[in-house]
């Protein structure tokens, strides 16, 4: 572990910004380690100045120096800091989402439902409308309110298929408003998406999400085959 910390520190502090992309398996492993650590730290939303204290702690351990503060003594403080930073981030995302939702609701053709979902048909379909008990096949792209994409079946080149009743409430409600062959835009407040917890590390807590969904096919649940009625055999005793 100590060797890994040293490697990460080299990446953080010694490698120039113009360094080439990792090529060897070892370089890729070190890069992946950096990504993992950054995601672990992302909950703290550290400023550049705060990150310097994190690097100093790592440097002291890597150099074999006595730490100025032990994690065991500051465990509660670390947890409290993480919690407060997460709550602040959720509040920030919700405030930004509320403004975005208001603008989306004012777009021509948009419908706001009781749950807060904003539904806008982009292309009318002519097929069946799904129920929560149905399985649907869709193409979709999911973005944050700033337009950055976080997921896309189109990018993967393969449609997604799932029971409509087993996804986030926004999808269950919104896709059920579509007809097969249609396309719609779903704007989902966090309450009917991934809530305050989010879906780390991809989706932050409190995030409003936007989905463009094309409903390709609706499959009704397969009914179990009915068993034929059997008449118990009776026989006479001899």
Q: Which residues are catalytic?
A: 140, 150-151, 168, 194, 211
The string over 27-50, giving b where at least 16 C-beta atoms fall within 10 Å of a residue's C-beta and e elsewhere, is eeebeeeeeebeeeeebbeeeeee
CB atoms within 10 A of CB 235: 5
- How many angstroms separate the CA atoms of 199 and 192, rounded? 13
- Which CB contacts under 8 angstroms, 24+ apart, belong to 28-31? none
Question: 108 by DSSP, 3-state: which?
Answer: coil
- How many angstroms separate the CA atoms of 88 and 84, rounded? 6
Which value, in Å, is the radius of gyration of the alpha carbons in the chain?
Answer: 26
Question: 76 by DSSP, 3-state: which?
Answer: helix
- How many angstroms separate the CA atoms of 179 and 186, rounded? 14
- How many angstroms separate the CA atoms of 238 and 236, rounded? 6
Among candidates 156, 155, 195, 161, which has minimal Cα distance to 175?
161
Quick one: angle between helices 2-9 and 25-41, nearest 10?
Answer: 90
């Amino acid at each position: 572990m100590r060797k890994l910390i040293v490697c990460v520190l080299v990446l953080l502090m010694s490698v120039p910004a113009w360094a080439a992309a990792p090529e060897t398996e070892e370089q890729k492993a070190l890069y992946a380690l950096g990504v993992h650590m950054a995601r672990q730290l992302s909950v703290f939303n550290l400023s550049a100045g705060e990150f310097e204290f994190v690097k100093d702690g790592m440097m002291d351990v890597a150099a074999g120096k006595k730490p100025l503060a032990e994690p065991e003594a500051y465990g509660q403080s670390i947890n409290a800091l993480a919690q407060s930073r997460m709550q602040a981030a959720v509040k920030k995302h919700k405030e930004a989402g509320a403004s975005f939702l208001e603008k989306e609701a004012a777009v021509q053709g948009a419908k706001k439902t009781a749950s807060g979902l904003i539904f806008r048909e982009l292309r009318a379909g002519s097929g069946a409308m799904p129920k929560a008990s149905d399985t649907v096949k869709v193409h979709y792209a999911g973005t944050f309110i700033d337009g950055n994409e976080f997921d896309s079946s189109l990018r993967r080149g393969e449609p997604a298929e799932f029971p409509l009743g087993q996804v986030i409430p926004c999808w269950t409600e919104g896709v059920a408003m579509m007809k097969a062959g249609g396309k719609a835009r779903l704007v989902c407040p966090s309450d009917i998406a991934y809530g305050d917890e989010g879906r780390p590390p991809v989706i932050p807590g409190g995030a409003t999400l936007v989905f463009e969904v094309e409903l390709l096919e609706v499959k009704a649940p397969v009914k179990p085959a009915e068993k034929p009625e059997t008449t118990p055999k009776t026989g006479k005793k001899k």
